[in-house]
Amino acid sequence: MKPLDQHRAPIYEGLERLRRKRIVPFDVPGHKRGRGNPELVALLGKKCVSIDVNSMKPLDNLGHPISIIREAEELSAAAFGASHAFLMIGGTTSSVQTMILATCQAGQKIILPRNVHKSVINALVLCGAIPVYIEMSVQEPIGIALGLETERLAQAIAEHPDAVAVLVNNPTYYGICSDLKEIVNLAHASGMKVLVDEAHGTHLSFSDKLPQSAMQAGADMAAVSMHKSGGSLTQSSLLLIGEEMNAEYVRQIINLTQSTSASYLLLASLDISRRNLALRGKESFEKVMEMAQYARQEINAIGGYYAYAKELVDGQKVYDFDVTKLAIYTQGIGLTGIEVYDLLRDEYDIQIEFGDIGNILAYISIGDRLQDIERLVGALADIKRLYARDGKDLISGEYIQPQVILSPQNAFYDERESLELQEAVGRICGEFVMCYPPGIPLLAPGELITQEIVDYILFAKERGCSLQGTEDPEVKVVNVIKEDS
C-alpha cells in the first residue's frame, strides 16, 4: 500500500484527467456535459457542468469503491483520525441515520438526549429501535439544553443494561460540549456502542485549542458535516468509524438508501475540502476562533445581548465549549431570536444561520472576513437602538422535554386523525413538529402533547419561526393517534 499524501485529491485529479480526454458521452446525465442545457451552464459554469458525470471505471463507484474513491476515503480517515471514512452525498442526515441503522435493530434500546436532530428520530422510525431519553439540564435564562451529563448517563445505563448504543450530539448548535471520553468509557464498559452526531464539529479534529473530537475520544462512529465548517458543497458529509466497527457492513447499510448515481461534484468537494483542512486546517480554525471571540466582545459591549462562551463551563452540564460558535441571547433587548434573525435579513442584508425563541446563531467559518463581523456587530447595535422593547410579552425559550408514550415507529405508522392544536392537548402526537433550523423536534411521533408545548408552538408561529414536519403546511392542525386504534 502506497503511503498517504494529504496533498493529493484523487477524485478531483480523476475528474481533471477525464475532462482533458474530451470523451464523447453516450451515458447519463442527459445534459451531456451541459450541451443539452445551456441555461444550466450559464448558471453553474461550463467547467462545473462538464464534470457532472456518472460512475465509470476511471472514476470508481461510491457503492463499491476500489480506486480513487477508496483512496479519498483513506485520506479522509487519516485526516480525521478514524479507522475508516465514508464519503456521504446525502447530507449528514444520511450519516446519522447510517450510524443508528448499523447498530440498532427493531425493539432494541438506544440511550440519547431528547434535543437531537430530526434525522435521529427519523432513523428510529425506520429501524424500530426504542429511545431511552436522558433528561437535559437547561441554562437559564438563555433556555438552551446543555450537555449529556455523565451521572445521568450512568443511571440510564444501570436502568437499561440491555441498550445497545448511546448517541450524543457534540458540539450542539450552540457550542455545548459533553465529556465524550467519559461517555465512551461508561458505554464501552457496558458493551454499548457510542455514536456521535458531530455535524457541527468538523473543525474539532484540527486544533488542540478546541474540544476533543469524537474519534479522539474513542467513539465508534461519528457523523461530520463537512459542508458546515469544513468548506465542502451543501449536502456533502463524512461518516467516520472506529476500529471496532465492521467497515464493509457499514457500507452495506449505507447502500440500502444511498443514491446509485452519486454526484461527483459533491465527492470532489469533499476530496478538495479534506485536503484543505489537512494542510491548512489548524491555522484556518485559529483565525475562526479569533474572529468569534472578537465578535463576542463587541456584541456584549453593546449591552442587552449575551454572546456566551467558556464561562458556561462547569465540568459536568457543560464539560467544554466550542468557541467557534457565535450564539447570542437576544431577549435582553426584548426581542426573540427569530425577530432579530428576520430584521438582520430584511433590513440589513445579513443572513445568519437561525433564530429561535431566545437566541440567534451566526455561523463563523473559514470563509468569513473581519469586515463581515464588523457589519454584523453594527447591525445588532442598530437593531437594539431602533427596535428594542421591554419584552414583557415574551415567553422563555426554555427547552421542553416531552413524555414518550409510544415508540417513534409505532406512532408514525399507527392510525391517525387530525385535530386543532388546542384540541390535541392530552393526545399522543403522530408526526413531527419542529422549528427549522435548528431541526430539533418540539414534538415527535409517540410523544404526549401538553398545553405547555402547544403554547410554545403558537408563540413560535406568532413570532415568525419556520415550523415544519406536519402534514398541514400552516401547522394549524396536528396528526394524533386515534384513541380507539
Residues 6+ apart with CB under 8 A from 68: 10, 11, 13, 14, 59, 60
Looking at CATH, the fold of the domain delimited by 408-481 is given as Ornithine Decarboxylase; Chain A, domain 4 (3.90.100)
Residue 305: predicted pLDDT:
98
Residue 437: predicted pLDDT:
77
55-278: in CATH 3.40.50.9100: no
Indicate the CATH number for domain 281-387: 3.90.1150.10
Residue 423: predicted pLDDT:
97
What confidence tens digit (pLDDT) does each residue in 135-179 have?
A: 999 998 898 999 999 999 999 999 999 999 999 999 999 999 999
CA-wise closest residue to 116 among 467, 399, 455, 468: 399
CATH 3.90.100.10 residue window(s) in the chain:
408-481
What confidence tens digit (pLDDT) does each residue in 413-457 have?
A: 999 999 999 999 999 999 999 988 788 899 999 999 999 999 999
CATH 3.90.1150.10 residue window(s) in the chain:
281-387
Q: Considering the entire predicted model, what is its pTM? A: 0.95
CATH 3.40.640.10 residue window(s) in the chain:
55-278
- In angstroms, what CA-CA distances link 51 with 24, 45, 88, 296? 13, 11, 18, 41
Q: What is the pLDDT along the chain (485 residues), one digit of tens a residue?
A: 567 999 999 999 999 999 888 888 999 999 999 999 999 999 999 999 999 999 999 999 999 999 999 999 999 999 999 999 999 999 999 999 999 999 999 999 999 999 999 999 999 999 999 999 999 999 988 989 999 999 999 999 999 999 999 999 999 999 999 999 999 999 999 999 999 999 999 999 999 999 999 999 999 999 999 999 999 999 999 999 999 999 999 999 999 999 999 999 999 999 999 999 999 999 999 999 999 999 999 999 999 999 999 999 999 999 999 999 999 999 999 999 999 999 999 999 999 999 999 999 999 999 999 999 999 999 999 999 999 999 988 988 767 889 999 999 999 999 999 999 999 999 999 999 998 878 889 999 999 999 999 999 999 899 888 899 999 999 999 999 998 74
Residue 2: predicted pLDDT:
61
The amino acid at residue 247 is A
